[in-house]
């Protein structure tokens, strides 16, 4: 297992529509393991493949009830099949460090996906888990959390992140 570098905004990998996984082969299994490792190293609660530069529909989610390195769940080709309610809460992203904002999300949802064995599964989630799932599935569609904000707030965060990226490139 290895910790992968996390892409940060405005890396173009974050803007792509990720491709569905056609075959759960060795490379995808390896990617899932590495994504789990990378998420823990970064102390994140979720990670999507485009954040490590892989344009495929794979996400990993931290499961707080377990306390070791197996405490994550992989969802392959996840799709939201129903959603209800609305709740506003603070969110951040490993690809936009130092920025957090209040984002409106569905309160509960049902997601279908393939698990890491390739079996079709369904999951009902609410509150924090529902929020993390929506955030990570957005990544698969090239959407970052601040793009869900009002235009003024969105542009403010975008501009600051672009400046940070430029400053980092100069260093």
Catalytic residue check, 136: yes
Q: How many CB atoms lie within 10 A of CB 124?
A: 11
Q: Does 52 help bind Ni ion (rule: CB under 5 A)? A: no
Residue 95 CB, shortest distance to Ni ion, in Å, is 5
Q: Does 93 help bind Ni ion (rule: CB under 5 A)? A: yes
Residue 44 CB, shortest distance to Ni ion, in Å, is 8
Q: Which residue has the closest beta carbon to Ni ion? A: 93
**β-pair type (108-114, 100-105):** unpaired
Judged by beta carbon, residue 76 or residue 93, the one nearer Ni ion is 93
- Give the DSSP H or E segment for 110: strand 108-114
d(CA 161, CA 47): 19
Judged by beta carbon, residue 24 or residue 140, the one nearer Ni ion is 140
Residue 52 CB, shortest distance to Ni ion, in Å, is 12
What is the phi-psi region of residue 118: left when phi exceeds 0, alpha when psi lies from -120 to 50, beta otherwise?
Answer: left
Contact 3, 31 (CB under 8 A): no
Q: Does 61 help bind Ni ion (rule: CB under 5 A)? A: no
Q: Which residues bind Ni ion (CB under 5 A)?
A: 93
Q: Mind telling me the catalytic residues?
A: 136
């Amino acid at each position: 297992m290895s910790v992968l570098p996390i892409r940060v905004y405005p890396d173009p990998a974050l803007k792509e529509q990720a491709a569905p996984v056609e075959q759960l082969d060795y490379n995808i299994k390896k990617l899932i393991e590495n994504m789990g490792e990378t998420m823990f190293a970064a102390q994140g609660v979720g990670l999507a493949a485009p954040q490590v530069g892989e344009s495929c529909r794979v996400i990993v989610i931290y499961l707080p009830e377990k306390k070791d390195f197996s405490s994550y769940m992989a969802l392959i080709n996840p799709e939201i099949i129903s959603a209800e309610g609305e709740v506003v809460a603070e969110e951040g992203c490993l690809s936009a460090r130092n920025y957090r904002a209040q984002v409106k999300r569905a309160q509960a949802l049902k997601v279908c996906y393939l698990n890491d064995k390739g079996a079709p599964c369904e999951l009902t989630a609410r509150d924090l888990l529902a929020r993390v799932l929506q955030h990570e599935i957005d990544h698969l569609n090239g959407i970052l959390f601040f793009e869900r904000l009002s235009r003024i707030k969105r542009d403010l965060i975008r501009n600051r992140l672009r400046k940070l990226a430029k400053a980092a490139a100069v260093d």
